[in-house]
Amino acid sequence: PKMLNYSYGVIHSHIEKMELPVCIGQDIYGNPVSWDFADLETLLISGEIGAGKSSLMRVILTTWVKYTSPEELRLVLVDLKRADLGLFHGIDHVDALCFEAKDMRKPFALLRAEMYRRGDLLLEHGVTHISRLPFKLPRIVVVIDEMSIVKRETDLVEMIQQFASQGRALGVHTIIAMQRPDADLLNSALKANLRVRISGRQADAINAKVAGVIGAEEIDAAARGRMKIKIDEVKEFQAFFLDGGACKELLSPYKTLVKDPEPELEVVSQSIFGLLEKEEQR
């Protein structure tokens, strides 16, 4: 199909047994393209303007908000394009929403400290993954939209690389989105830790190779929402479409506070850490 509108009711039967489900479209045989982000915990999304990256991000995050409780999932969102993630302002699951590089340092430092704390918990209890702890900790997902904007902020890039490389056992997951894949940012170490890669159309084979999705340059430029995904092999699919207005309507029941139309530059709470302490005390 050339267009697939997002419907949570339609995809729910495909995801109900997953912990952190991703269901993003259909392949050429009409099968759902889905996986459990709790198992494949890092994702790179890239592609030219109009490829459907923004809609794809809305689909993934909206599904999580509807499927999980704030006690199960915490979100750290970075929207350096100031384009789409502001829709999630005021959602209980969101611990930080940053629009500039300087605003990322506080929540990232808190998150890194939380990773160290979780590592200590694994050692204390003699286990290798948070799922084996005697108490439940929420999953934490860091989303960075247009990472190329922080390319010169080496401290931030190093922390993002740390989240992607060390977060697996700690329940910390990473989504990186960028329009044009950057070979300097996507070095071999970082790319190796981005286990799922999705690309819309790329300008040429070189960009497709950097994005880690061979053949993305062959996608028809007129086919909006047509993408390729690489997990074990490269597969073409049509992504669900979810525009900003429909997304806002779906999210409205999950917003606890009425916010101004223009969100603040930084919204940081201690929710991740407060919730974790409560769970640990139980």
**Which DSSP string corresponds to 81-102?**
TSSSGGGGTTBTTEEEEESSGG
Apex 80 CA angle, 236 and 8, nearest 5: 45
CB burial of residue 20 (10 Å; 0-12, 13-18, 19+): buried
**90 annotated ligand binder:** no
Using CB atoms within 10 Å of the CB of residue 33, give its burial: 0 to 12 exposed, 13 to 18 middle, 19+ buried: buried
For residue 24, say whether it is annotated as part of any ligand binding site. Answer: no
Residue 54, annotated ligand binder?
yes
How big is the chain by its Cα radius of gyration, in Å?
18
Q: Is 255 annotated as a binding residue?
A: no
In a 10 Å sphere around its CB, with 0-12 CB exposed, 13-18 middle and 19+ buried, how is residue 154 labelled?
exposed
Distances in whole angstroms, Cα of residue 231 to Cα of each of 17, 42, 48, 118, 243: 20, 11, 21, 28, 26
Please check if 86 is assigned to a binding site: no
Q: Is 167 annotated as a binding residue?
A: no
φ and ψ at 269, to 5 degrees?
Answer: -120, 175
Measure the CA–CA gap between 164 and 184, rounded to whole angstroms. 16
Q: How far is the C-alpha of 98 from the C-alpha of 264, rounded, in Å?
A: 8
Confirm or deny that 49 is annotated as ligand binding.
yes
Does residue 237 contact residue 47 with C-beta atoms inside 8 Å?
no
Question: What dihedral angle (degrees, nearest 10) is formed by the CA atoms of 172, 169, 72, 42?
Answer: 40
Q: Is there a binding annotation on residue 51?
A: yes
Which positions make up the binding site for ATP? Answer: 47-54
Residues of each annotated binding site: 47-54
